[in-house]
Amino acid sequence: MRILVTAGPTREYLDDVRYISNASSGRMGYAIAQAILDSGHEVVLVSGPVSLTPPVGVEFHAVESTEQMMHTCQELFPHCDGVIAAAAVCDYKPHRRIEGKMSKTGSPISLEMIETDDVLAALGKQKDSHWILGFALEAQNERENALQKLRRKNCNWIVLNRPEAIASEENSVELLDETGTTIASWSGTKTHVAEQLVEWLNQNASKPGHSR
């Protein structure tokens, strides 16, 4: 298989030096990319800014903004068998980016925010015979929110994890299908979780009935 993997955070700039982002380290996505390579498959890795070195052997595409990630993934996805969307994409961006650098005025400032492009939903719209595995990081109504995300974004499966996973070496996840059933769960280092996830995909991603 040839698998697209997204990893890391995205950045949305307020001005030329300040940006909104999150604490995603990219470790989960990079571990998944390595596990896919170790299984003998091809990997196309689209990554936001992280301090990690891409695994040797991947086709690597570095991006910064959510818009860049979406456009890059839309171009690459048709040439892959499926996607594992592990990136922690910014949900909001400033309505207007200020040129130069904002200076202190001694007074409060207000920022108008708008939603960013939905990378996973965009891929879901061009799914065809591909499979899609999304990630949902949830802190409240975890299973319900993850299931809604799966259905809204046209995923085959979704990995539910929690805020404790951010920037951590370890993770504890559940894999949900379209019915909301937990079909697998793994805990341990992100390397171990990635290996278990890829092993599961090796056995299930190409089976009939998992693409719609």
Which residues carry out catalysis? 22
- Distances from the Cα of 75 to the Cα of 1, 4, 88, 187, 191, angstroms: 18, 11, 20, 33, 28
Nearest to 197, CA basis, from 21, 83, 36: 36
Distance of CA 114 to the CA centre of its chain: 20
- Cβ proximity of 184 and 206 under 8 Å: no
Q: Which residues pair with 195 in a beta bridge?
A: none
- Distances from the Cα of 203 to the Cα of 34, 39, 194, 196, 199, angstroms: 18, 12, 14, 11, 7
